[in-house]
Structures are given as C-alpha cells and as structure tokens.
Amino acid sequence: MGEIFELAKRKEITEVICLELSRLGRDNMDVRQIILELADLGVCTHVVNRNLRSLDKHRRKDSVTMMVLGILADLAQMERESLVERIVSGQQEAKRQGKHIARPKGTVKSTAKLLEENKKVAEYLKEGRCSVREIAKLCGVSPNTVMKVKRTLGELV
C-alpha cells in the first residue's frame, strides 16, 4: 500500500481497482482509512465485485458510496471473525473426537535427509556469495527450502 500512496501523492494514479473490499486492508477501520486517504489525494477506489466507486465523476467523495463501503467493510470484518470462530470450533471438536489435526507423523524430514537432498543448496550457502533467491533459482527449489537448509546449517555450527 505504501507504493500506492506514493504514486497517489505524486499524482501518477487516479484510480485503485480492488476486486473485493476485504482485500484492501486488514480490518474495517484499515479499509475505511485507506479509502478516505486515497480520496483525499484525489484517487478513486473502485471495488469491482460491488461496482462501487469512492469518488464521483467530478472527483468528489460520494457520500452514499462512502457509507455503503463502510457498511461492507464492517460486514467483511464480521465474516472474517466468523470464519475464524468456525475454524477454531471445528479444530476443538476434532480434538474432542481424538482426531489428529496437525501434520501427519513422519512428514518432517530429518536433518541428515534434508541436507542429503539439498547438497547443492548447502554448498552455495557455505560459499556465501549468493542470495537466498539466487540459490533457490540456481538449484530449482523454493526460497523456503533454502532457508530451511540455512537454519539447519546454522544449528550444526
């Protein structure tokens, strides 16, 4: 979002297109603040799935739309909170029934196996000349794998 605000301050953008209101910020207050700040900078926020625009055709705040956006932001927050409650409730019920809800046993690789499968990654890390992303690209693995190997090597030293 920082980059968007920088572009808005430099008048390099006039509109921010957001597919869904809940994707704009972490919570309803955050969403409202972002929309208002962008509107103050003359940038229209367009929420595609609701076909709402924060500024009218004369680049002024549309008060009805701003009110609707606020209500929708509140509803999105309630939906997120409800989802978290349902997930936690489901996990608690699974535990009561004696179900295992973590990673299946035996899926975590041993240190030796991790280093054996990622010898090339370990070599690059020991050389210390490449970044994590560069090593990932060179070895055809994810940056997370490189970080796992790096942590493992650090624990061995």
Confidence at residue 157, expressed as pLDDT on a 0 to 100 scale: 58
Q: What is the pLDDT of residues 54-93, one digit of tens each?
A: 888 888 888 888 888 888 888 888 888 999 999 999 999 9
Confidence at residue 7, expressed as pLDDT on a 0 to 100 scale: 92
CATH class of residue range 2-96: alpha beta
pLDDT of 31 above 90: no
Q: What is the pTM of this model?
A: 0.53
4-21 mean pLDDT? 92
Q: How far is CA 68 from CA 1, 3, 38, 82, 109, in A?
A: 22, 26, 17, 21, 50
Confidence at residue 150, expressed as pLDDT on a 0 to 100 scale: 92
- Token digits of residue 123: 């070599």
Residue 142: pLDDT band (50, 70, 90) is very high
CA distance 64 to 30: 19
Confidence at residue 59, expressed as pLDDT on a 0 to 100 scale: 85
Domain edges within the chain? 2-96, 111-156
